[in-house]
A and B are shown apart, each in its own frame.
Chain A
């Protein structure tokens, strides 16, 4: 990605940005790590590949750090989903679009650590090599070849916006028309199950939650200065990892991101206990799409679904 490095160097040299948030090589074979590039020299550390999972735009809004306090202009390297987060921030008045410089990269999808680990039976992966449509996974005493598709994030497999629709600069060749399978198939299949079966699955799944809030903290759409779970007067929710409390947390979080989730999959990747978080978020996304014909982060001029009103909206949920 020499092109990316050159572009960032130029932006820093021309003082178009004070910092560029991008990905650098991580300490583990499967993870890139966020880096904050302030000098041309540091720009050399930038990479972009299938290990660049994080949605870096999350650094724009949170109490975080020096970001947005000291920096006037921030550059960010964005994948498709990440660029949608910037659109979301803009329509929700969290940032001024002109204060952010977006460097789009063509994304072929990013690795899902959990899928990789499952494929090799939980053994430790020390090296990965992509060879066309397949991937060679190497560990201490094994080497396996799998289809690349089998190790990408679920969100990537149904992504319709791999080319960072919102960008100021674009690196490389856009993928343009991508054919993706029906994004809501998994939701529809789940919906066909009986209520008891669905409840049993959700209960089983969310009883594993350890309430570390990694899903919330990596989520670009979760930027409340104070989350409802952190309020203790009044206390809205029990703090135990009991399934009743955990489900409330996840349900409310999902309602809070209704029409705002860009399906970047950051929560899924961050979860240390591998919860099926998309089973909820994708359902909410589908509801919003069907009711309001709205897809988060795709139109910088459209008001958010939950912040606007049209007389002809379906209202069948109000009165039976």
Chain B
């Protein structure tokens, strides 16, 4: 373990910047989001969690896949330095593991490289995640519904705890351990520090909501697709894409060509199942033309389809969608309503 005085953090960040492009929570407009930083002074430590998720670092909202001109085609090259992210909470670290199953692993056909996304792998494969313990979960947090914990280390390369005056760093993955051996500070982690960490963990956990057992959600959802519950659940949704864009796990995208004359580019863009255009077919037919159908899609994808494909739910309980929804359509209530719902049509199936 490595102990760094907060006032000396910049030294560490500079050390990191030597080998990595470093991202951290920082001011972006009036909000806090992940941004590439050049010194530790840009980091916002005083936050609970960022308003926007870090998925943008590895899966940008708009990403050029290739450019073309008369001289041929140009594919973006790998950055010189790999990416390091400082200050990521475990809800977000876990979300990257989920996205990696989709983009990085070709999960269902792991031996087929052709289904692995080079743009994702180029950024994610060598990255170094400094997963910071979440000392103060918000009232909108519900990571504990999905086996999460504010002090979880899953997916972390280095686990960081903010103990007030210091950061305590613990190598988790091989890559993280190796990195930490290279950094020397004079400070030693003491028994007091360890007690402090245990205490912080206890306090953080006390802020979490009562656990809801989400295990039965998958089976329930298998029977619920054509039940009348969706009209009720979706009634107030106005079909904007705010929830999907702030979500660390939503990953649907669109591909758009922007060209003029003999040159142009192909771009991959975040899309949202909340939008009508998302499923409109060339014929004009839209299989998900109604708001209800689109809301059902989003909820089913998170708590059923993804489980079917990847054996886990596509939600980390970060609560960002709860915070931004303009009509307060709270996904926690949706989960509870689905769990409590008494099947009307498919009782015996």
Residues of A within 8 A of B (CB): 26-28, 31-36, 54, 58-59, 62-66, 114, 118, 121-124, 126, 140, 204-205, 208, 210-214, 216-218, 226, 230, 232, 238-242, 266, 269-270, 272-275
Residues of B within 8 A of A (CB): 28-32, 46-48, 51-52, 61-62, 136, 138-140, 207, 231, 234-236, 238-242, 244-246, 254, 256, 258, 267, 269, 272, 275-277, 289-292, 322-324, 326-330, 332-333
Q: B29–A63 contact, CB under 8 A?
A: no
CA distance A26 to B235 in the complex (A): 15
25 residue pairs A–B, Cβ–Cβ below 8 Å: A27-B332, A33-B236, A33-B328, A34-B327, A63-B290, A114-B30, A122-B32, A122-B46, A205-B29, A210-B245, A211-B245, A214-B240, A214-B324, A217-B239, A218-B240, A230-B275, A238-B258, A239-B62, A239-B267, A240-B61, A240-B62, A240-B269, A241-B61, A272-B246, A274-B30
**In the complex, chain A residues whose CB is within 8 Å of the CB of B328:** 26-28, 31-34
Q: B235–A36 contact, CB under 8 A?
A: yes
CA distance A240 to B256 in the complex (A): 9
**In the complex, chain B residues whose CB is within 8 Å of the CB of A28:** 139-140, 322-323, 328, 330
Known A-B contacts A208-B28, A239-B256, A242-B62; the reply to A272 vs B330 at CB < 8 A is no
The listed residue with most B CB atoms (<10 A of its CB), out of A32, A64, A216, is: A64
**In the complex, chain B residues whose CB is within 8 Å of the CB of A270:** 240, 242, 326
Closest to A64 in B: B291
**In the complex, chain A residues whose CB is within 8 Å of the CB of B234:** 65
**Contacting A66 at CB < 8 Å: which of B235, B244, B272?**
B235
In the assembled complex, how far is the CB of residue B215 from the closest CB belonging to chain A, in whole angstroms? 23
Q: A122–B276 contact, CB under 8 A?
A: no
In the assembled complex, how far is the CB of residue B134 from the closest CB belonging to chain A, in whole angstroms? 13
Q: B267–A273 contact, CB under 8 A?
A: no
**Contacting B240 at CB < 8 Å: which of A114, A126, A212?**
A212
**Contacting A63 at CB < 8 Å: which of B51, B258, B291?**
B291
Q: A62–B238 contact, CB under 8 A?
A: yes
Q: B276–A230 contact, CB under 8 A?
A: yes
Known: A58-B238, A63-B290, A66-B231. 12 other contacts (CB 8 A): A26-B330, A28-B328, A33-B327, A35-B236, A205-B29, A212-B272, A217-B238, A217-B240, A230-B277, A238-B258, A239-B254, A272-B51
CA distance A31 to B267 in the complex (A): 37
In the assembled complex, how far is the CB of residue B209 from the closest CB belonging to chain A, in whole angstroms? 11
**In the complex, chain A residues whose CB is within 8 Å of the CB of B46:** 121-122
CA distance A288 to B235 in the complex (A): 35
CA distance A252 to B248 in the complex (A): 30
Closest to B28 in A: A208
**In the complex, chain A residues whose CB is within 8 Å of the CB of B139:** 28, 124, 126
**In the complex, chain B residues whose CB is within 8 Å of the CB of A123:** 48
Q: B327–A273 contact, CB under 8 A?
A: no
In the assembled complex, how far is the CB of residue A43 from the closest CB belonging to chain B, in whole angstroms? 16
**In the complex, chain B residues whose CB is within 8 Å of the CB of A118:** 30
CA distance A320 to B70 in the complex (A): 43
The listed residue with most B CB atoms (<10 A of its CB), out of A63, A124, A266, A274, is: A124
CA distance A180 to B290 in the complex (A): 42
Closest to B255 in A: A239
In the assembled complex, how far is the CB of residue B61 from the closest CB belonging to chain A, in whole angstroms? 5
**In the complex, chain A residues whose CB is within 8 Å of the CB of B29:** 204-205, 208, 273-275
CA distance A270 to B291 in the complex (A): 18
**In the complex, chain B residues whose CB is within 8 Å of the CB of A216:** 240
**In the complex, chain B residues whose CB is within 8 Å of the CB of A210:** 52, 61, 245
